[in-house]
Amino acid sequence: MSDIILPKAVENFIAATNAHDANALAAVFGDGATVRDDGITRAGEAEIHEWIQTHLIDPKIVITPTSFAGDRLVASGEGEFTGGPLSFAFVFGIKDDRVTDLTIDPV
């Protein structure tokens, strides 16, 4: 990550994910945020918190960035899930250093 310059919100997302800190990760998201992952859109604090727990914290995901351009982070994701490590594209909407929209797709 040292050679890749990331917006503060993306840095915070990666740091909280890699630390397996659900509360810090939830704090990265702004009011009214949405997350699209696995073909499902999650909106609001409760749905996003459940997604954080089941998709990032429980499987102990560790994100390693490989590139960042515009609003798109490409990263390797490792953890306790079948088929890993996998590469993902994270497309961030950011406002005031908080994530307002996040779409995750396999690469």
Average pLDDT, the chain: 94
Q: Count CB neighbours of 13 within 10 A.
A: 25
Tell me: pLDDT of 83 over 80: no
8-106 belongs to which CATH class?
alpha beta
pLDDT in tens, 26-78: 999 999 999 999 999 999 999 999 999 999 999 999 999 999 999 999 999 99
- Full-model pTM: 0.93
Residues of 87-99 as b/e, b for ≥16 C-beta within 10 angstroms? Answer: ebebebebeeebb
